[in-house]
Amino acid sequence: MVISNKAAWNSDYAVQTYIAADNLQKPEQHIINILKDRLPGMRMLDIGVGGGRTTLHFAPLVKEYVGCDYAENMVTACKKRFPEIGNAFQLGDVRSMPEYDQGAFDLILFSYNGLDYIDHEDRLKALKEIKRVGKAGGSFVFSSHNLLYIDKLYTLKWHKRLKDFIYQFYSLFMLTVLNGLPGRYKNRPFAILNDGTNRFSLKTYYIAPGAQTAQLTALGFKNVRLFSCRTGMEIEPARTHETAPDHWVYYLCEI
């Protein structure tokens, strides 16, 4: 299955949504604390930089910062938002980054589940390319949607605003029509779903944390660590079943 999401990321709706974001998620803050002593000496690549949410927090802490995105409108928005480092933002595609030398970066970040908006084969290409441009012994940080969470996509939650509560019925109907029932995905390592992101305009890759760890290990990444999106705290690999309440999981691994 080929996922083509570029038009959605270039839309005014997506750009305005991401340019308004400025807070780190709990696991991102935890990972900053883990890396804080090393950050001043690190050259960083921030892939899928979007509207610059992570730029605010990482750029002042690292030796050199580069942000890239394959949506031209996101890059333009970042240059306007951060004119003092405008040259740090570049148009690029994680699946092929010939503009960067092998081992060029000490820290690579691909936040906000950006890796989940390409198909499986391209995901593997992207991870291989990330490993190529990352320095041996460096760090790779990213988040990915959690397949163990899928049942919760199909549940109704109470909302104070009637409009938001009613929208859930539409969302549940669309989830079922577009993806079928959640039971069909229970024994799969990963699945590509239309989960309602960006008004049902995007398809999203969901992967079980154990499968994600195996995927990284097979590609040569080491010391894979998992962090809960809800709490920010680290989860032992042997206890990945505890991630079921997390819509996505953060990963920190050695390149």
With H, G, I as helix, E, B as strand and everything else as coil, classify residue 250: strand
Task: Determine the Cα angle at 128 with ends 102 and 214, to 5°.
Answer: 135
CATH code of 6-145+209-254, in short, is 3.40.50.150
Q: How far apart are CA 40 and CA 120, in angstroms?
A: 34
Residue 144, beta-bridge partner list: 249
Q: How far apart are CA 247 and CA 144, in angstroms?
A: 9
Task: Determine the Cα angle at 205 with ends 201 and 210, to 5°.
Answer: 160
Reported as half-sphere exposure (CB side, CA atoms, 13 A), residue 160 has a value of: 0
High-pLDDT (> 70) share of the chain, %: 97
Residues with Cβ < 8 Å from 138, sequence gap 6 or more? 42, 105, 106, 107, 108, 254, 255
At 67, which helix (H) or strand (E)?
A: strand 64-69
Of the candidates 34, 22, 21, 18, the residue with the CA atom closest to the CA atom of residue 227: 34
Residue 186 has pLDDT above 90, yes or no: no
High-pLDDT (> 90) share of the chain, %: 79
Q: What is the pLDDT of residues 89-123, one digit of tens each?
A: 999 999 999 999 999 999 999 999 999 999 999 99
Prediction pTM value: 0.91
If you average pLDDT over every residue of the chain, what do you get?
92
Tokens found for residue 200:
């049902």
Q: pLDDT at position 16, please?
A: 81
Check: CB of residue 81 under 8 Å from CB of residue 54: no
The residue written with tokens 């002593």 in the block is 37
Q: How far apart are CA 4 and CA 108, in angstroms?
A: 24
Structural domain spans, the chain? 6-145+209-254
Residue 69, beta-bridge partner list: 91
Q: How far apart are CA 225 and CA 190, in angstroms?
A: 19
> Which is more confidently placed, 11 or 219?
219
Greatest Cα-to-Cα distance within the chain, rounded to the nearest angstrom:
53
Q: How far apart are CA 44 and CA 107, in angstroms?
A: 5
Check: CB of residue 68 under 8 Å from CB of residue 91: yes
pLDDT-based confidence at residue 32 (cuts at 50, 70, 90): very high
Give me the sign of the Cα torsion angle 140, 141, 144, 147: positive
Q: What is the pLDDT of residues 221-251, one digit of tens each?
A: 999 999 999 999 999 988 988 899 999 999 9
